[in-house]
Structures are given as C-alpha cells and as structure tokens.
Chains A and B, each alone.
Chain A
Amino acid sequence: GDSVTQMEGPVTLSEEAFLTINCTYTATGYPSLFWYVQYPGEGLQLLLKATKADDKGSNKGFEATYRKETTSFHLEKGSVQVSDSAVYFCALSKGGQGAQKLVFGQGTRLTINP
C-alpha cells in the first residue's frame, strides 16, 4: 500500500541554521504531496503542498519540490527561527488535493535553540 517515510527525529538546530527534513513516498499513480506542521497541543496546519511532478510548494520560508524520479518531497528552510519548533509531517493523498484520505509519515520533531 501507499506509505510515507520521514527522517527520524528529533532534530535540534540553532537559530538561523539551514533545515532539511527528508521525506520519501511509495505510491501507485500520481499522488499529491503535503507538509503539515503541528505545534504543541494543537491540530495540524497545512504548511505547503505540490500536486504534480516538479511542482515546488512554498510557504513561510519553507520549500519542498515534488521529485518523481526519486519519489521524494524534502522540506527545506534557509534560516530557521525558534518559532519553527514543532512536529512536521509529510503526507500524500491521491485523487486530488484532499479527495482521498491522507497517508502520513511518522513525523519529525524539530527544536530550534536561540
């Protein structure tokens, strides 16, 4: 079945460091890909998305490019802030942006120290 694999956390960085969180997927067909962020005690917020190969999603300084050849959707940010501390989930769905159920990776906890 479809699955998403993220790099294991936790990840701890200093403020202004460069961030990469790896995400790879296994799916038949052409899934849409997402990054969600979860702040402590809250639900998930959509951070960015890409719906087809070579699309780049971006938001709040975060970027991820849909790479079909490597089945990857790595999350990057050039200079992280303390406020970026959260858990990040990579996810996929098929049949449109949300038409089908989301399949989540295991999540990566990110801590940014001042």
Chain B
Amino acid sequence: GAVVSQHPSWVICKSGTSVKIECRSLDFQATTMFWYRQFPKQSLMLMATSNEGSKATYEQGVEKDKFLINHASLTLSTLTVTSAHPEDSSFYICSARGISNQPQHFGDGTRLSIL
C-alpha cells in the first residue's frame, strides 16, 4: 500500500535554531502534501497544503515565514521551523495524496521539542 515516511521521528534542539522535517512518499507520486500540527491530547490542525512545484497554501493564523514549506518533487516535501522557540514544540504530521480521488496517507509524525 501507499507508504509515507517522515524524518526525523524525534528532534530536540535549542531555542533559536531552525529545524527541517522531511516527508516522503515511498511508492507513489504525491501531487499534494499536507502538514498538520497536533498538541498533546488534541486533534490535528491543518497548517498548510502544498502542491508539487507551487507555493504552499497556509491556513489562517499560520505564519508562513515561521513554517517554511517546500514541495520540490513529487515524492518529497519539507517543513522548516525557523528560529524555533519552546512554543513551537509539538507533534508535526504530514500526509500525502496522489491523484485527486485518492485518500491521504499519513506519516508517523515528528515530535519536536525546543529547549
């Protein structure tokens, strides 16, 4: 079946650094990728939607300069949290979808902890 790989699974870093999270579709071409944020014991909140080769569409309230999304190929999207601070600590999950009638397939998530 469709597999989405997310890396790293867990990262701890100091406040002020930038962190890059990768999301790869391993056995299908992902025309659209989604990035979600999940706070402890809460639901997933969509941050942005990205289509290969075009700029991401951010949800209201999400800072595009803070959360940089690049979808440079049909199998890879990256989320970079710039100048991370403790309030950015969260569980980040990506999903990928092939052609428009297919469901989204989710990665295993990245737990980001900013000290």
A residues touching B (Cβ–Cβ < 8 Å)? 34, 36, 41-46, 49, 89, 95-99, 101-102, 104-107, 109
Contact = CB atoms under 8 A, between A and B. Distances in A.
The secondary structure that dominates the A interface is loop
12 contacts: A41-B108, A42-B108, A43-B6, A43-B109, A46-B104, A98-B100, A98-B101, A99-B100, A101-B34, A101-B46, A102-B34, A102-B104
Contacts of A97: 101-103
Nearest to A101: B46
Contacts of B105: 46
Interface string B1-39: 000101000000000000000000000000000100000
B103 A44 contact: no
Given A43-B93, A43-B95, 7 more contacts: A34-B103, A44-B44, A46-B105, A89-B44, A96-B101, A97-B102, A102-B44
B71 interface: no
B71 to A, nearest CB: 15
Interface in B45-76: 46, 49
Contact of B101 (A49, A99, A104, A105): A99
B80 to A, nearest CB: 19
B93 A105 contact: no
A31 B102 CA distance: 15
A19 B25 CA distance: 34
Contacts of B97: 98
A43 B106 contact: yes
Contacts of A41: 108-109, 111
